[in-house]
């Protein structure tokens, strides 16, 4: 290349740069950390920062602005507070906390900010969505009318859950709350419902068991795991359920039905209380801040059955009680927000009744609107039968001489209670549930011990799997059972039980 051409080109470029307009000045605000506590920081020098804005510390840790006060900001850290030192620089990012959303998250395990935790590499082309969003207005909602099958007889028959409903799972420790939620996820294999499991403040081994169960059940490909463990900062535990709801909203906006499990909101409330007390917010009842109700209300109001073209978000929040105290602050708040509750009783756990659903306290405020007519006909008297049986059972313990009618009612109640037993990780199709419940309510399982009842129910399920006499079609079409169907199912159930017992009898 000739030198004169090179000089000419260079001088022309310099001349063009000199003649071009100067770029607009860019203001960069830099603040300083004045205090650091466990999970929070006090920042000064950022007078223009906004509420919920993400700040970036010089150490690489991010934080969210929680408190706006004159000359100081209360910031919740989204990383380890040990890395933040007083005096280090803090910069604004001019954006709110966001999480990646979309199909790229299916089958992945991420933290509250959408960062992968499963060692499967980065997320591919996942757009960002703010973790905070306004709940849809009433005009964008529809009534809850479609059932969400959980695969659990005690729930689908007596406490039905509908697509778009918010059904609280409440109970003491070790009563099976997480197990019910996981079984509900596993039962969506054939329904096309997308699932999101949000672990808040859970131990790492407990989350690993849930992930293993979902993977073994074949639902990992349509499930997103959002994990904020007990070893993570409380800021991540606070953000996690909002992030999970944003991921659900991205699927619902494309017409999908989504099931969101929030396990559990007790830890979420404790994390928010910890952050609020560290930021010197005024404490209220049980030291929780006064806006704890709003914290959970604005989260759960984002669930619902949405208008045409959009799907639904069904929320199963979990809350833990202590010593069966349903009147505690957080449980009563959530009971008033949600559309019903599934209460798991330690008393039933001690009786080896799993799932330990107490039908006397559990309720679905959507009720039969989200239940097929076939289920309503068969299980309509389920609560009454069980309540009368438990009352008679208590009376019979006094050794009173009983007449034949009372003995028959006790036998029927014991059979119905046995029919509601179900092992973990064994969600049952709706037609098989209906056949087992019909047999129990009509006396097919009367006067059987636990072992015989288990074999009998398995035989009934097997007979229905081979020929359900149109039960699945009736449930799908929301039709009532005909007398011919009832008779055929009961006849097939009795025959299957007789064949099963004959096969187990060595003298047969």
Geometric angle at alpha carbon 46, from 43 and 52, rounded to 5°: 80
- Cis peptide bond upstream of 449, omega within 30: no
Count of other CB atoms within 10 angstroms of residue 196: 27
Count of other CB atoms within 10 angstroms of residue 55: 25
> Coil, strand or helix: which one is 319?
strand
DSSP class of residue 133?
A: -
Maximum CA pair distance of the chain? 120
Rounded to whole angstroms, how far apart are CA atoms 366 and 156? 12
Do 226 and 111 touch, CB atoms closer than 8 A?
A: yes
3-state secondary structure 168-182: EEEECCCCCHHHHHH
365 is catalytic: yes
Helix extents (H) in 231-291: 234-252, 265-278
Count of other CB atoms within 10 angstroms of residue 453: 21
Identify the active-site residue in 115, 285, 365, 495.
Answer: 365
Do 106 and 89 touch, CB atoms closer than 8 A?
A: no
Rounded to whole angstroms, how far apart are CA atoms 96 and 155? 39
Rounded to whole angstroms, how far apart are CA atoms 461 and 99? 43
Burial class (CB in 10 A: 0-12, 13-18, 19+), 39: buried
How many residues comprise the chain?
A: 508
Do 98 and 58 touch, CB atoms closer than 8 A?
A: no
Q: What are phi and psi of 316, to 5 degrees?
A: -120, 80
* Bridge partners (DSSP) listed for residue 169: 318, 342
Compute CA distances 28 → 13, 45, 46, whole Å.
Answer: 29, 12, 10
Do 336 and 358 touch, CB atoms closer than 8 A?
A: no
Q: What does the block give as tokens for 172? A: 């003491």
Rounded to whole angstroms, how far apart are CA atoms 499 and 490? 14
Known catalytic residues?
A: 365
């Amino acid at each position: 290349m000739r030198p004169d051409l090179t000089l000419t080109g260079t001088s022309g470029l310099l001349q063009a740069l000199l003649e071009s307009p100067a770029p607009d000045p860019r203001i960069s605000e830099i603040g300083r950390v004045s205090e650091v506590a466990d999970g929070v920081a006090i920042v000064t020098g950022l007078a223009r920062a906004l509420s919920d804005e993400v700040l970036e510390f010089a150490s690489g840790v991010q934080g969210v602005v929680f408190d706006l006060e004159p000359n100081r900001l209360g910031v919740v850290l989204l990383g380890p507070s040990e890395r933040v030192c007083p005096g280090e620089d803090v910069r604004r990012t001019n954006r709110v906390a966001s999480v990646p959303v979309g199909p790229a998250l299916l089958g992945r395990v991420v933290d509250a900010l959408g960062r992968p935790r499963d060692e499967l590499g980065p997320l591919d082309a996942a757009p960002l969505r703010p973790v905070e969003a306004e709940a849809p207005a009433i005009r964008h909602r529809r009534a809850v009318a479609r059932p969400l099958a959980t695969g659990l007889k005690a729930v689908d028959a007596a406490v039905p859950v509908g697509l778009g409903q918010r059904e609280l799972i409440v109970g003491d420790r070790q009563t099976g709350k997480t197990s019910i939620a996981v079984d509900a996820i596993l039962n969506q294999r054939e329904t096309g419902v997308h699932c999101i499991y949000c672990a808040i403040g859970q131990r790492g081994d407990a989350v690993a068991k849930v992930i293993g169960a979902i993977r073994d059940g074949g639902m990992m490909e349509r499930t997103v795991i959002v994990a904020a463990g007990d070893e993570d900062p409380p800021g991540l535990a606070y953000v996690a359920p909002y992030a999970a709801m944003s991921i659900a909203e991205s699927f619902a906006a494309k017409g999908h039905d989504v099931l969101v499990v929030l396990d559990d909101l007790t830890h979420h409330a404790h994390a928010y209380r910890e952050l609020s007390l560290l930021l010197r917010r005024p404490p209220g009842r049980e030291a929780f801040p006064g806006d704890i109700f709003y914290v959970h209300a604005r989260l759960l109001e984002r669930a619902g059955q949405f208008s045409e073209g959009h799907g639904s978000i069904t929320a199963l929040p979990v809350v833990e009680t202590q010593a069966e105290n349903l009147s505690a602050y957080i449980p009563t708040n959530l009971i008033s927000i949600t559309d019903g509750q599934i209460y798991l009783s330690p008393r039933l756990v001690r009786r080896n009744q799993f799932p330990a659903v107490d039908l006397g306290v559990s309720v679905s405020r959507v009720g039969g609107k989200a239940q097929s007519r076939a289920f309503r006909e068969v299980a309509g008297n389920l609560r009454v039968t069980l309540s009368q049986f438990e009352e008679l059972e208590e009376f019979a313990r006094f050794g009173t001489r009983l007449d034949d009618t009372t003995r028959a009612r006790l036998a029927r109640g014991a059979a119905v209670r046995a029919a509601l037993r179900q092992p973990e990780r064994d969600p049952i199709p709706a037609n098989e549930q209906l056949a087992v419940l019909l047999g129990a309510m009509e006396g097919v399982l009367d006067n059987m011990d636990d072992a015989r009842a288990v074999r009998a129910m398995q035989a009934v399920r097997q007979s229905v799997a081979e020929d359900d006499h149109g039960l699945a079609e009736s449930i799908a079409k929301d039709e009532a059972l005909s007398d011919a169907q009832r008779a055929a199912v009961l006849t097939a159930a009795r025959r299957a039980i007789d064949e099963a017992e004959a096969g187990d009898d060595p003298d047969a």
